[in-house]
Structure formats: structure tokens, C-alpha cells
Amino acid sequence: MQTIRLGSGNLVSSRLAYGCWRIARSADAAADLATARRAVLAAIDAGYTLFDHADIYCDGRAETSFGAVLRETPSLRNNLLIATKCGIRFAAGSNTPYRYDLSAEHIIGSCDESLRRLGVETIDIYQLHRPDFLIDAEEVSRAFDELHRAGKVHEFGVSNFSPSQLALLQGAARWPLVVNQVEISLLQLSSLGDGTLDQCQAEKITPLAWSPLGGGLLADGPVDILAPQRAYQPAQIVALLDEMAQARGTSRMVLALAWLLRHPAGIVPIVGSTEPGRIAAAVEATQIELSRDEWYRLLTIARGVPLP
């Protein structure tokens, strides 16, 4: 698979990342390990080198299951980049609501817990999962310094940060932020116009795209476009993707990912399927370069209105 340098740092990643959010959803350790093993090994075989985690994924079991796969074959760690996130805290009673916590104490403590669950000595990219409205940028910078000096983290990044929130943190941090992980897809276009991708290009920050297939709605197979729990409106874009995919002899999923890869900010889509076939099939997107006309045709349908 093609590779890309992450931000202004020294880490080089596969052009697609593998997202580990779903690899341990059964709450049965043996079943979770089987799912994780199948998905992670399929991703490695397909050329993925960046693996995306968060401390809250499957209540920590995703990191635990991934760590178990690494313990089975320790040499795998040599060629992988592990990214994980902290900062979201679930409710624990009426006096402790669901909240964000980017205090130094929580950042450092969460990092130690992730290292333990993953069974590794160092996290390659440690990200702040959501912007804390009580963030003290200087305090976060001190936490980053401590984690880096201790050898627990190589590089730092954020997730779901607006351009102004990222700038606030970067202004205080001694270490360059190498990634900003945000939702980007043909069904979620806000980063094109809110300054996120502009900032990424200007500051040499790599955008990681979570939900690049709109929660699976742009993946291959039948799509329930009337599902009431979906906020997206995928009918028109799915039809156009299918039309263009048939003309190119490829799939809807591949073109949806290729649309992201075409952007000059160097978007790295995070593929989250646990099906080995889909994990491998997604790599075809790295071999397709959409023309400017194709890219704008998809954008126009995705917007639902003509460009001004």
C-alpha cells in the first residue's frame, strides 16, 4: 500500500488506517480475541500499518484484544503504528455526568492504562479525543512533555478539534500536533468549509477521517436509506457512486474512499469493517485517482445544491 508521512513528524503510515472501534463488541473475551485476530491480521496482510484506538472503544476491550493479538506474535509490533485517544469520561452517577477531561492527571493516567491494555511500552500517536471546554493549554503541554520524556508517547495529535481549538493548543505545546481526526465523508462535508482542511495543509497536520463511509452507508451492499436513526441522506450520492463504480469496474466503497484520498490535505481514511474481505478490498482506493471533474461531480451531488 502507498504510504504518507504523518504531519511534520517522523512517522510514516499506510495511506489507509485501520480503525479498531468494533473489534471487541461481544464482551466475551474469547470471541473478542477471535474477531480482533481475524480483522487485525487481515489489515496487516493488506498493508495497513496505522491502527486507530481510543481508551473508550468497547470500554477498553478493543485495546485489550489488540494487545492480546500482539502478544501472540510480538514481532508484529515492529511494523505497526499504534494511535489511541483519551479525554472522554462516561457518567458515573448523578453527580458525575458524561464529560470531557483533558486535565494533566487524566491524560497521564489514561495513557498508562492504554499502555497496560495494549501491552506496549510506547504509543506512537496519542490524541485528545474531544475538546474539553475547560482545557488549559499550558497544563496539556506539561502533560505531553512528561509523557514524551518518559518514552511513553512518540507524537501527539487531536480529534474533533476545530481550527481555533487546535491553534490554542498548538500555541502552548512544545510538540507539534501531527494529526487531527475528524469526521469526513461524502455524507459529512463540514471540514471542507470550516477551515479544518485548510489548517491541516497550512500547518502540515494530517487529517484522519473517521466514518469515511458514513457509518457504512457508502459501503458496498444494500443500503437502508429510510432508517430513522440515520441523520444522513445518502440516496442520491449512493446512486451516483454506483453509476461511476460500474463505469470504472470497481465498487461504491472504493470510490467513496478514493474521493477522500484525492484531497491535497493528505486525508487518511480510517476503515472500520471487521470483515477481512472488505478490509482488503478497500486498498483498491489507493490505486485510483479521480479526475477533478469526477471529484466535483460527487461533491455537487453530496452537497445537494449547486456550487455558488
Residue at 161: amino acid letter: F
- For the record, the C-alpha cell of 170 comes out as 498548538
Residue in 18, 57, 126, 232 annotated catalytic: 57
Closest Cα partner for 209 from 143, 140, 285? Answer: 285
What is the Cα–Cα distance from 205 to 214, expressed in whole angstroms? 23
Q: Report the phi/psi class of residue 57: left, alpha or beta, with left for phi > 0 and alpha for psi in -120 to 50.
A: beta
Strand pairing partners for 90?
Answer: none
Query: Per-residue DSSP letters for 34-50?
Result: HHHHHHHHHHHHHT--E
List helix spans (H) across 134-195: 137-149, 163-172, 190-193
Strand pairing partners for 180?
Answer: 158, 207
What is the Cα–Cα distance from 200 to 264, expressed in whole angstroms? 10
Q: Is 57 a catalytic residue?
A: yes
Active site residues: 57
